């Protein structure tokens, strides 16, 4: 049976594996569609060593995320949507029972982690000055009793809701970094807190307020930090100024008992990710890039806390020459990390003393996230493969004795057959490229297959045939009798700095020719592909490239441009990452107007002869919808065949985590547009 767009509601996506400190328990999520509510649910499941089956751990239809065992191994903490005020931290004993809410921030919690003694958690939350004051002094605002004063209780909360509405009517903006995801920040800054949970049962039983310590500074944005080895300090990343103006961050040390005592350890050129402390408390590790190379591979840096020399950040992955995504400390002298590398994502191990890297867990597949147990050297990880969307595995610390924990879509895959895949390589200008062909599982090789050329975003992204978020989309297209061709052109991640740097100040021509060469090679290599029935689509940078291609060539019968960038002046001055784009084109925007205009697809809109469908989300703040509006109106002005589909409420992540109904509708519209014009 073929895979259809409507099958999205049947798929289950295991993710976020996390191991207990003793390595004997494994928690993970399974994301599903709640068809009645047009939303998702993701309960936590628990697998115990020695037991054959994994069991559901959290109840309800909520979205639970980021499960984390306490260092003591007694509790599991997680974020959940079950709270009244957005996403909050909940804690459950690993033996089961009731989930206790331990945070109550006015607009929820963005991320958290545990202290080493399991008595505190560190969280980051977006708050304003008044909210900080109420968090630290909750007795200042005690609502009336619903039992004793029901009328006053109703009036109190009615007034709060009205004031909440009036605060954004009108919305006053003073910061460049004023929106993210699908929401406005409304003057709130990402701030760090430590919450005492040593007696978390009292929060529910006695309705006591949470005991929070504020460690930040209003007016600055902070990232998630890490506790010192003795839990007396917190290490945090902090933007020096508005993130839309500068990428520079500091790493600061803050005393929990004296939050005003802050020491700057050093600065980085770009945002800091994955800040952690080593098991022995000697090093801080984090991800960033070197100097002012916006196209650099993401590197791991170390700071030696015993030497405590400011600005002594040492890059320990400079020998590896590939990007790092997630990383975790394996022991005192080594880190384990994920890396996109030549069309695969595997787990690697880094010796921080020698800087040598070796592959630890490998295979022709994508490993999307992982967890390790430092006490037992077990590894758990989420795998996606061309034959299944996602499942959880675990193995020994040396990569041996791999065991598959889930087969979440086993019954579905017994009756639905995924695409066939084949890799091909080609050379252009002395560079070797990877490309892939996906075909229907039961196609007739004696008949010609129409082709859909797919283009990835980024531009610094690496695609493989094992893409979890594209598994359903690609198979839905293929099931309608199409072949899919894609490649990793220059600018992609996974092939080294020079490969990524090739699109620096040059988003269009070089990568476009790499992509078209991949299409030519596929058409020549596979005679069953129809060169006269070609369509093209892509999202984000792939949306940019789709529209760029149809202004430069008339080869395609149909094109679908999704959440794209079409006019660089508008994009660079309305996106939530304008300084990043300035670095991409090396210079202040107002000084580069001529260069960025000629690289904008709208500058060449008169050339379009391909029927073009534009898909965009109205709350997309990464690539704001003004870009789509410009392309649409100019195409209409010159009487091109064009249609514009706008999705309310969703943002830039529509294709990955948008409303389920929108995800299905989007795929159907892509297929129908291709069927209409790619005849």
Closest by CA position to 278, among listed 205, 342, 238, 333: 333
Integer Cα distance of 326 and 276 in angstroms:
11
The residues spanned by each domain of the chain are 417-677
Integer Cα distance of 580 and 114 in angstroms:
32
Query: Can you give the length of the chain in residues?
Result: 679
Integer Cα distance of 538 and 457 in angstroms:
7
Helix (H, G, I), strand (E, B) or coil at 423: strand
Closest by CA position to 514, among listed 587, 456, 586, 570: 456
Closest by CA position to 75, among listed 100, 110, 104, 103: 100
Question: What is the pLDDT, as a whole number, of residue 361?
Answer: 94
The tokens for 296 are 């650099």
Question: What is the pLDDT, as a whole number, of residue 202?
Answer: 58
Question: What is the pLDDT, as a whole number, of residue 205?
Answer: 44
- Regarding pTM above 0.85, the answer is yes
Question: What is the pLDDT, as a whole number, of residue 145?
Answer: 67
Helix spans in 41-149 (H): 129-136
184 CB-contact burial (10 Å; exposed 0-12 / middle 13-18 / buried 19+): middle
Helix spans in 417-567 (H): 471-478, 497-501, 509-525, 541-552
pLDDT of 593-639, one tens digit each? Answer: 888 899 999 999 999 999 999 999 999 999 999 999 999 999 999 99
C-alpha atoms less than 13 angstroms from C-alpha of 411 in its C-beta half-sphere: 4
Integer Cα distance of 253 and 179 in angstroms:
28
Helix (H, G, I), strand (E, B) or coil at 295: coil
Residues forming a β-bridge with 124: 111, 192
Is the CB of residue 424 less than 8 Å from the CB of residue 438? no
b/e map 358-367, b = 16+ CB within 10 Å = eebbebebbb
The tokens for 131 are 């909210």
Using the Cα atoms of residue 267, residue 269, residue 273 and residue 274 in order, give the sign of their dihedral: negative
Cβ partners under 8 Å of residue 516, min gap 6: 549, 553, 555
Integer Cα distance of 490 and 47 in angstroms:
42
151 CB-contact burial (10 Å; exposed 0-12 / middle 13-18 / buried 19+): exposed
DSSP letter at 222?
Answer: B
Is the CB of residue 581 less than 8 Å from the CB of residue 571? yes
- Whole-angstrom CA distances from 274 to 44, 327, 652 are 23, 7, 23
The tokens for 574 are 């309305």
- Strands of 257-387, DSSP E: 262-268, 273-277, 283-288, 299-304, 313-315, 327-331, 334-341, 344-351, 357-361, 366-373, 378-385
Question: What is the pLDDT, as a whole number, of residue 189?
Answer: 93
Is the CB of residue 407 less than 8 Å from the CB of residue 391? yes
Integer Cα distance of 562 and 558 in angstroms:
13
Integer Cα distance of 1 and 415 in angstroms:
6
Integer Cα distance of 588 and 243 in angstroms:
15
Integer Cα distance of 46 and 392 in angstroms:
12
* Cβ neighbours, 10 Å, residue 147: 7
- Topology annotation, domain 417-677: Rossmann fold (3.40.50)
- Strands of 86-161, DSSP E: 88-93, 100-101, 111-114, 120-127
Helix (H, G, I), strand (E, B) or coil at 94: coil
Is the CB of residue 145 less than 8 Å from the CB of residue 153? yes
402 CB-contact burial (10 Å; exposed 0-12 / middle 13-18 / buried 19+): middle
* Cβ neighbours, 10 Å, residue 375: 14
Integer Cα distance of 209 and 102 in angstroms:
9
Question: What is the pLDDT, as a whole number, of residue 206?
Answer: 43
Integer Cα distance of 244 and 583 in angstroms:
12
The helix (run of H) or strand (run of E) holding residue 424 is strand 420-428
**First and final C-alpha spacing in the chain:** 24
Closest by CA position to 92, among listed 67, 111, 124, 117: 67
Is the CB of residue 478 less than 8 Å from the CB of residue 439? yes
DSSP letter at 342?
Answer: T
Is the CB of residue 131 less than 8 Å from the CB of residue 214? no
* Rg of the chain on CA atoms, in Å: 26
In order along the chain (679 residues), what is the average pLDDT of each group of 10 residues? 92 96 94 92 92 89 93 94 88 89 92 95 91 75 68 70 66 85 88 89 57 91 94 94 88 93 86 92 91 84 82 86 93 94 95 94 94 86 96 92 95 95 95 97 89 95 94 95 96 94 90 97 96 96 97 97 95 89 84 88 96 97 95 96 96 92 96 91
Residue with tokens 């040059």: 506
Max distance between CA atoms of the chain, in angstroms, equals 80
Integer Cα distance of 51 and 47 in angstroms:
7
Phi, psi of 325 (to 5 degrees): -105, -105
Integer Cα distance of 563 and 9 in angstroms:
23
pLDDT of 628-675, one tens digit each? Answer: 999 999 999 999 999 999 999 999 999 999 999 999 999 999 999 999
């Amino acid at each position: 049976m073929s895979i259809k767009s409507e099958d999205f509601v049947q798929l289950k996506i295991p993710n976020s594996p996390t191991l207990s400190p003793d390595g004997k328990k494994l928690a993970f999520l399974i994301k599903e569609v709640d068809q009645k509510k047009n939303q998702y649910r993701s309960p936590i499941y628990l697998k115990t060593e020695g037991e054959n089956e994994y069991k559901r751990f959290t109840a309800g239809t909520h979205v639970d995320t980021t499960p984390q065992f306490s260092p003591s191994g007694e509790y599991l903490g997680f974020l959940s949507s079950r709270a009244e005020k957005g996403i909050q931290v909940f804690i459950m004993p690993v033996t089961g029972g009731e989930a206790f809410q331990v945070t109550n921030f006015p607009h929820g919690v963005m991320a958290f982690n545990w202290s080493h003694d399991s008595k505190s958690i560190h969280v980051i939350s977006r708050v304003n000055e008044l909210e900080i004051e109420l968090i630290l002094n909750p007795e200042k605002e005690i609502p009336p009793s619903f039992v004793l004063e029901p009328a006053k209780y109703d009036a109190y909360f009615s007034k709060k809701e009205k004031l909440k509405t009036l605060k954004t009517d009108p919305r006053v903006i003073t910061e460049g970094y004023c929106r993210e995801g699908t929401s406005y920040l409304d003057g709130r800054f990402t701030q760090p807190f430590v919450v005492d949970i040593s007696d978390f049962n009292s929060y529910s039983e006695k309705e006591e307020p949470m005991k929070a310590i504020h460690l930040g500074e209003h007016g600055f944005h902070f990232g998630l930090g890490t506790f010192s080895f003795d839990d007396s300090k917190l290490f945090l990343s902090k933007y020096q100024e508005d993130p839309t103006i500068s990428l520079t961050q500091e790493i600061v040390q803050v005393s929990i008992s004296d939050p005003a005592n802050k020491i700057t350890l050093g600065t980085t050129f770009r945002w800091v990710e994955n800040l952690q402390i080593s098991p022995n408390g000697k090093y801080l590790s984090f991800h960033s890039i070197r100097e002012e190379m916006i196209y650099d591979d993401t590197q791991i840096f170390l700071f030696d806390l015993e030497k405590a020399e400011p600005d002594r950040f040492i890059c320990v992955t400079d020998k590896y020459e590939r990007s790092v995504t997630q990383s975790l400390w394996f022991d005192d002298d080594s880190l384990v990390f994920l890396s996109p590398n030549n069309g695969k994502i595997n787990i690697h191990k880094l010796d921080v003393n020698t800087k040598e890297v070796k592959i630890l867990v490998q295979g022709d597949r994508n490993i999307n996230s992982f967890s390790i147990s430092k006490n037992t050297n077990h590894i758990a990880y989420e795998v996606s493969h061309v034959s299944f969307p996602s499942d959880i595995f675990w193995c020994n610390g040396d990569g041996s004795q791999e065991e598959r924990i889930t087969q979440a879509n086993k019954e579905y895959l017994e009756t639905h057959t995924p695409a066939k895949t084949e890799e091909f390589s080609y050379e252009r200008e002395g560079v070797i490229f990877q490309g892939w062909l996906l075909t229907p599982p039961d196609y007739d090789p004696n008949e010609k297959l129409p082709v859909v050329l797919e283009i990835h975003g980024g531009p610094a992204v690496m695609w493989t045939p094992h893409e979890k978020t594209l598994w359903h989309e690609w198979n839905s297209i293929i099931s309608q009798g199409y072949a899919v061709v894609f490649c990793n052109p220059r600018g992609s991640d996974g092939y080294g700095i020079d490969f990524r740097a090739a699109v620096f100040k040059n988003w269009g021509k070089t990568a476009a020719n790499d992509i078209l060469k991949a299409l030519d090679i596929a058409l020549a290599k596979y005679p069953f592909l129809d060169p006269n029935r070609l369509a093209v689509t892509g999202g984000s940078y792939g949306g940019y490239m789709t529209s760029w291609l149809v202004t430069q060539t008339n080869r395609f019968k149909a094109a679908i441009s999704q959440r794209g960038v079409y006019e660089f002046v508008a994009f660079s001055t309305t996106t939530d990452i304008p300084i990043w784009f300035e670095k991409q084109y090396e210079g202040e925007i107002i000084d580069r107007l001529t260069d960025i205009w000629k690289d904008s697809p709208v500058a060449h809109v008169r050339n379009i002869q391909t029927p073009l469908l534009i898909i965009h989300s109205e709350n997309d703040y990464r690539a704001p919808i003004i870009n789509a509006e410009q392309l649409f109106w100019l195409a209409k002005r010159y009487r091109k065949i064009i249609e514009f589909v706008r999705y309310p409420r969703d943002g830039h992540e529509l294709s990955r985590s948008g409303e389920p109904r929108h995800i299905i509708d989007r795929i159907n519209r892509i297929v129908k547009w291709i069927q209409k014009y790619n005849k």
